[in-house]
Amino acid sequence: MQEQSTIQLGHVTVLYEDNHLLVLSKPACVPTVPDSSKDMSLLDWGKMYLKETRSKPGNVFLGTVHRLDRPVSGVVCFAVTSKAASRLSDQLRTYRMSKTYLALTEKKPPSEHGVLEHIIKKNNAKNIVRVISPGPTETGGKFAKTSWVLLEAKDGVYLLELKPETGRPHQLRVQCAAMGCPLMGDIKYGAQTPFPDASIGLHAYKLEFLHPVRKEGLSFSTPPPDSGPWRPFVGEP
């Protein structure tokens, strides 16, 4: 039976753990890794969890494989060993780790489904990404590709399924904005009204990859928050 941790950080849920992996459900507005805010991160929580539940002395290793933006909720996988970290990072780098997101927008999509392809460029100083047209005055952009499907519409809110085929910073946020469908609450990329808790309408619903040691296929999912604009869609898809 899964031990209940006494460490508090929003509503973190342990989705899976073994000697190689720790898969968690990240609450919105929690940093995946430590940042300038000094708030407890999901990585901090994971290390404390392993130290507490496995009675580990000294520093605990927990490798970051991928990240979610602070205002985004959903599935995050960490590596418990350096070997697992290397193998999982290789799957991420070669696009063998599949991610599925759910997104909310108040703007009606242009069709029932489609593929978004852009060249995007990040301004690190401002922590914002924009779509560019490469040329003599615009260099350094990276190709981004995302498949999307309209799942449902309720009360003027549209639920999208997003499957990124590349892994660029803020990719889903800037590409949805470029489609004319900024994510709800995402003021940085064109939403008109922020969410009260500073989250945005983006949730990492499913993560699929090969176990780094056993090589079997694994799939983990977690539903979006049962609150706010998500509430009508809980249980979907």
Report pLDDT for 2. Answer: 38
**pLDDT greater than 70 at residue 164:** yes
Per-residue pLDDT tens over the stretch 208-219: 999 999 999 999
Between 135 and 207, where is the model more confident?
A: 207
Report pLDDT for 138. Answer: 79
Mean pLDDT of 136-151: 91
Report pLDDT for 10. Answer: 62
Per-residue pLDDT tens over the stretch 68-104: 999 999 999 999 999 999 999 999 999 999 999 999 9
Report pLDDT for 9. Answer: 63
Domains in the chain (CATH in brackets) are 13-233 (3.30.2350.10)
User: Rounded CA gap, 82 and 105, in Å?
Assistant: 39
Confidence band, pLDDT 50/70/90 cuts, at residue 185: very high
What's this model's pTM, rounded to 2 decimal places? 0.92
Confidence band, pLDDT 50/70/90 cuts, at residue 7: low
